[in-house]
Amino acid sequence: MKKTKLENWVSGCIFAIFLTISNAWSAQDEKNSQGFAWKDGAEIYAKICAYCHEAHVGPQIRNRELPSEYIRRVVRNGNRAMPAFRPSEVDDESLIKLADFISKKEAQH
């Protein structure tokens, strides 16, 4: 069903009123009650690892069939200048997905 211009304008106004009301800080705690969670290994790789490992800062790690267990250990312990990443940053379950993502050949994804 196509909305008329007026309907669009009205729903826009309702949205604006909602925004205004929710600006009071008493409502702030209710908003965005969901914290952050990783979607998959590829996202973690892109938003953490790739900044070094695809940028000539750290070594290439993808497509080298590095053992998953080794990757997980390096992530948790760090390696020389590579910082360690805590389970609060990359939870254990996501780390398994990340290690899989890194160790498998690209075609396997």
Partner 1 sequence: MTSQYIALPKGVSEKDFDAAIRDFRKILGDASVLTSAEQLAPYIKTMMPVPDADHTPSAALLATTVEQIQKIVAVCNQYKVPIWMISTGKNLGYGSAAPAERGQVVLDLKRMNRILEVDKDLAFALVEPGVTYQQLYDYIKEHKLGLWLSMPAPSAIAGPVGNTLDRGVGYTPYGEHFLFACGMEVVLANGEVLRTGMGSMPNSNTWQVFKWGYGPYLDGIFTQSNYGIVTKFGFWLMPEPPAFKPFVIQYQHEEDIVEIVETIRPLRISGVIPNAVVIAHALYEAPVKAKRSDYVSGPGSIPDEAVYRIMKDHKLGIWNVYAALYGTQEQIDVNWKIVTQAFGQSGKAKILTEQEAADDPAFAYRAKLMRGEMTLTEFSLYNWRGGGGSMWFAPVSQARGSETLKQMALTKQILAKYGLDYSGEFIVGMRDMHHIVDVLYDKTDPEQTKAAYQCFDELLTEFSARGYGTYRVNTAFMDKVAETYGPVQRKVHKTLKKALDPNGIIAPGKSGIR
Query: Taking a C-beta distance cutoff of 8 angstroms, is the pair 85, 75 a contact?
Result: yes
- Least distance CB 43 / partner 1 (angstroms): 10
Helices (H), 1-109: 5-21, 41-44, 50-53, 68-77, 92-103
> Is there a catalytic annotation at residue 82?
yes
Residue whose tokens read 């953490």: 48
Query: Taking a C-beta distance cutoff of 8 angstroms, is the pair 45, 109 a contact?
Result: no
Considering only the stretches 9-17, 22-30, 63-71, 96-104, report the one whose residues sit in contact with partner 1 under the rule CB under 8 A.
22-30
- Least distance CB 29 / partner 1 (angstroms): 7
Look up residue 79 and give its two tokens: 């390696």
Q: Mask: binding to partner 1, 39-78, rule CB under 8 A, as x and -?
A: --------xx--xx--xxxx-----------------xxx
Contact between 96 and partner 1 (CB under 8 A)? no
Q: From the candidates 1, 37, 55, 81, which is the catalytic residue?
A: 81
38: CB partners within 8 A, 6+ apart: 44, 90, 91, 94, 97
Binding site for partner 1 (CB under 8 A): 23-26, 28-29, 31-36, 47-48, 51-52, 55-58, 76-89
